[in-house]
Chain A
Amino acid sequence: MTIESLLIAYGLIAIALFIAWHNRLKLEKEVVIASLRATVQLVIMGFLLEWILRLDNFIYLGLILLAMTGIAAAISGKRGEKIPHSTGIAFTGILIGSVITFAVLSGAGVIGPEAKYIIPLGGMIIGNSMNASSLSMNRLIGELGHQRKRIETLLALGANAQQASEWAVRQSVRSALIPVIDSMKIIGLVHLPGIMTGFIIAGGSPLEAVKYQLAIVFMIAGTASLTCMIVTLLAARRCFSSDLQLLDTFRPSTA
């Protein structure tokens, strides 16, 4: 691909910027920063990846995955800024969700004990876990505001935080899992995943490619579900004061 082709591809960001500006979405700054970050991060990673993939020390590989988790948690935490300790909650959810999925896949032999498997698949797990975490917190904030009256009615009847937020939690998890469930529905029909396509182009057996792809799809579904549940349940508890009052952030002042 030539530099000119890449610049034309960058033109698509201009479309996103125009839509954001035209609809007053106030996302222009975020779109510009995100696209610049993606460029810088990929350039750096392009040079570093060769070195990383040669690493055979599991402690270093573990530290790299931990750093990835930290970065993912910091980004996800910002999506849930209204929730106290959102970054810590995101870190816990992403870490637990990713570790369990990683352990299952390693135990099943899907992820081999080599950097060339651990780092890309670990990154994929953490990335998907971060998406699930961000969506969960974002939906929870929306649901707590939307269901405020029901939550306060339940509190007034003598509900604890878990009981009062039950419907909001349920709706948040359901909404946060929609992208994962929908992408499973269209895989192979609309979405032909890169790894499977690459494997076949590189001369691999289609059945072998399908096996890997299915493992990845189930890995994404597993990670997302685990992270959603952990993040939403931890976050919901933080949205109430010690006296079981829904925090002011989620309700307009009443007089």
Chain B
Amino acid sequence: MLRVSNLSLTKGKAILKDLSFEVKPGEMLTVLGPSGAGKSSLLRCLNRLDPADSGEVFLNGAEVRSLDILDLRRRMGMVFQTPALIPETVAANVALGPSLRHETVSEPEIQELLQQVGLPPELMTRQVETLSVGEQQRVSFAQVLANKPDVLLLDEPTSALDPTAALTIENLIKDVHSRLHTATVLVTHDIPQAVRFNTETLVLVCGSVLARGNIQDLVNDTGNTTLQKFLKGELTGQGPEQI
């Protein structure tokens, strides 16, 4: 289980302000917000790719700063906006995480992982540079799943893809989440996408929580004028005076 308590980050200006939330195994939390809201920084603070100024992050009850950094990152798998694979075969990329710890992943295991992300086993020997961006993003997913993570952090994983490829990755996320029951945090700026995921949602603007709840309830919450401005695309997220 992932628990975040009073997390703050400042880099010249406040990026995250006193955020707290919890994601249990099998749950998915969508973090929705405009560009510059601090969404990616939030994920980066969770696996310590960025150092938070204050607050605490707990993974299964243990504060992440007390954990071995390499083990923490293995347990908090992160998929980025754009796939950045190593210039090797699909199989080498899928097995990369375990190989960093000098563990081997067998051929049937690689095939199983490729199957989980909807890629045919024949792709195993292909160089990743010859794949489409959508296929590369699937390899990135398989790469993360090979590490057997406790938590999945998804940083706008469809934003670099065309609409069709984005929808297939969305379905992949839903499928992987329902099968593995991993606690998942999905970051997106795409409101229709958040609605399609239909999960507990945290609306982040200028590093602060503007609203939280099921996305359907938030969409119907006409009492919150700032939230409605954001949902109508009238809030850019640049400047704290907007909230």
Q: Are A and B co-members of a single complex?
A: yes
Give residues in A with beta carbon < 8 Å to B.
147, 149-150, 152-160, 163, 167, 241, 243-245, 248, 253-255
Contacts between chains A and B (CB distance < 8 A), count: 75
Chain A proximity of B49: nearest CB distance (Å)? 6
Chain B proximity of A80: nearest CB distance (Å)? 24
User: Which one of A158, A167, A248 has the highest number of Cβ atoms from chain B below 10 Å of its Cβ?
Assistant: A158
Q: How far is the CA of A153 from the CA of B38 in the complex (A)?
A: 19
Chain B proximity of A6: nearest CB distance (Å)? 51
A245 with B51: CB separation less than 8 A: yes
Q: How far is the CA of A159 from the CA of B74 in the complex (A)?
A: 9
Provide 27 A-B residue pairs closer than 8 Å at the C-beta atoms, listed in order of the A residue.
A147-B84, A149-B80, A150-B85, A150-B86, A152-B80, A156-B47, A156-B77, A157-B73, A157-B74, A157-B77, A158-B73, A158-B101, A159-B100, A160-B70, A160-B100, A167-B87, A241-B51, A243-B69, A244-B70, A245-B50, A253-B11, A253-B12, A255-B15, A255-B35, A255-B36, A255-B37, A255-B40
A163 with B100: CB separation less than 8 A: yes
Residue of B15, B36, B37, B96 touching A157 (CB-CB under 8 A): B96
Minimum-distance CB pairs A-B, first 7: A149-B84, A150-B84, A158-B74, A156-B78, A157-B97, A153-B84, A255-B36
Extra contacts besides A156-B47, A160-B100, A167-B86 (12): CB < 8 Å: A150-B84, A152-B80, A153-B80, A156-B77, A157-B73, A158-B73, A158-B147, A163-B100, A245-B49, A245-B50, A255-B36, A255-B38
Chain B proximity of A146: nearest CB distance (Å)? 11
Task: Tell me whether B24 is interfacial, beta carbon within 8 Å.
Answer: no
A156 with B73: CB separation less than 8 A: yes
Chain A proximity of B149: nearest CB distance (Å)? 10
Task: Tell me whether B140 is interfacial, beta carbon within 8 Å.
Answer: yes
Chain A residues, Cβ within 8 Å of B144:
157
B48 with A255: CB separation less than 8 A: no
